């Protein structure tokens, strides 16, 4: 294979529920130079499972490939990592952030990196851990169009739909829209299925039927069965969805508006003590409790 045939290489930072399978997808398509995780134990276990190089330092991460992906929890984590990577990056490199943050955080990260000649794309994703593992994510991209074209093969290995929505921050603005919609869908699916239980309907058969009608959704098809089993293996932590809804709240405040769906969902997540680290589908428990209180009260 000549150098021209070698697929564009990337390093990956953040091997959590989402980043772990995304990095594995890049590795399968020949695009991964190696990965790094803050807790080294998680990185080593991931490296053993996927037979892939694990970096010991952020300096190694920065030097190993022209592109560095990030997929970490919160805005402050992204900015902290950008600060730690900056001394090791060289002009012409590209940082792609797949974490969900506020649009302003993306603009701040881009500005800091630009001072070192490094390009930045905000590239939050949707499609759950299943989509991350299958390479079928939806990618919402913000940033310079020429940079998007340079990294398109990397993005295409992660996702089946790549949408460039405008300058830096617009990928995150689109993801905020997605997260607000997800709040409504979680509210609708969890409340309606709790209602179905009260009506003594068989949930597996009902979910299958609903999934072929006008109320069909990814969330119903993938998280409805978990509600039926009252078992919530971790896909997307409630605490992270709450973080995203607070981002929506701040963005809406700039329009002088409150978002009823975001406020109601944040209130409900707060009422599920000890659930912050659970999958957001556990909202079903709160909805079940509504009906259980009535039948015992």
Ligand X SMILES: NC(=O)c1ccc[n+]([C@@H]2O[C@H](COP(=O)([O-])OP(=O)(O)OC[C@H]3O[C@@H](n4cnc5c(N)ncnc54)[C@H](OP(=O)(O)O)[C@@H]3O)[C@@H](O)[C@H]2O)c1
Catalytic residue among 175, 243, 287, 294: 175
| Cβ atoms of residues 100 and 132 within 8 Å | no
| CB of residue 291 to ligand X, shortest distance in Å | 28
- Cβ proximity to ligand X: between 174 and 240 the closer is 240
Locate tokens 């912050």: which residue? 276
Query: Running DSSP on this structure, what letter comes out for residue 52?
Result: -
Query: Running DSSP on this structure, what letter comes out for residue 8?
Result: P
CA 120 – CA 93 distance, rounded (Å): 9
| CB of residue 192 to ligand X, shortest distance in Å | 22
| First-last CA distance in the chain | 72
Is residue 36 classed as helix, strand or coil in its secondary structure?
A: strand
- Cβ proximity to ligand X: between 227 and 240 the closer is 240
User: What is the DSSP secondary-structure string of 108-144?
Assistant: HHHHHHHTTT-EEEE--EESHHHHHHHT-EEEEEES-
Q: Is 175 a catalytic residue?
A: yes
- Cβ proximity to ligand X: between 110 and 242 the closer is 242
- Cβ proximity to ligand X: between 184 and 235 the closer is 235
In the complex, the residues that contact ligand X under the rule CB under 6 A are 14-19, 37-39, 42, 71-73, 77, 80-81, 99-100, 125-126, 128-129, 235-236, 240, 244
Q: 80-113 b/e with 16+ CB inside 10 Å = b?
A: ebbeebbebbeeebbbbbbbbbbbebbbbbbebb
Q: Among all residues, whose Cβ is closest to ligand X?
A: 16
| CB of residue 290 to ligand X, shortest distance in Å | 26
| CB of residue 127 to ligand X, shortest distance in Å | 7
Locate tokens 């993938």: which residue? 222
| CB of residue 17 to ligand X, shortest distance in Å | 4
- Cβ proximity to ligand X: between 106 and 197 the closer is 106
Active site residues: 175
């Amino acid at each position: 294979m000549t150098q021209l045939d070698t697929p564009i290489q990337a390093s990956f930072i953040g091997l959590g529920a989402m980043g772990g399978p995304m990095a594995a997808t890049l590795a399968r398509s020949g695009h991964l130079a190696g990965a790094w995780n803050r807790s080294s134990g998680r990185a080593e276990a991931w490296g053993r499972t996927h037979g892939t190089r694990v970096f010991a330092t952020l300096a190694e991460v920065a030097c190993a490939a022209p592109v560095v992906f990030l997929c970490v929890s919160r805005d402050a984590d992204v900015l902290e990592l950008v600060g730690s990577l900056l001394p090791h990056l060289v002009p012409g490199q590209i940082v792609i952030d797949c974490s969900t943050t506020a649009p302003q955080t993306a603009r701040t990260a881009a500005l800091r990196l630009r001072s070192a000649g490094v390009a930045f794309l905000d590239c939050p994703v949707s499609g759950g851990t299943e989509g991350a593992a299958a390479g079928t994510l939806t990618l919402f991209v913000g940033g310079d169009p020429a940079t998007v074209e340079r990294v398109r093969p990397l993005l295409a290995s992660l996702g089946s739909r790549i949408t460039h929505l405008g300058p830096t921050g617009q990928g995150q603005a689109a993801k905020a829209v997605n997260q607000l919609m997800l709040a409504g869908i979680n509210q609708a699916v969890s409340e309606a299925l709790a209602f179905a239980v009260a009506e003594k309907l068989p949930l597996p058969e009902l979910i299958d039927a609903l999934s072929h009608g006008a109320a069909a959704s990814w969330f119903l098809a993938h998280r409805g069965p978990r509600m039926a089993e009252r078992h919530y293996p971790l896909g997307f932590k409630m605490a992270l969805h709450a973080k995203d809804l607070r981002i929506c709240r701040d963005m809406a405040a700039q329009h002088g508006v409150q978002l009823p769906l975001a406020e109601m969902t944040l209130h409900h997540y707060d009422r599920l003590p000890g659930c912050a680290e659970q999958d957001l589908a556990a909202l079903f428990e709160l909805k079940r409790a509504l009906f259980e209180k009535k039948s015992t009260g």
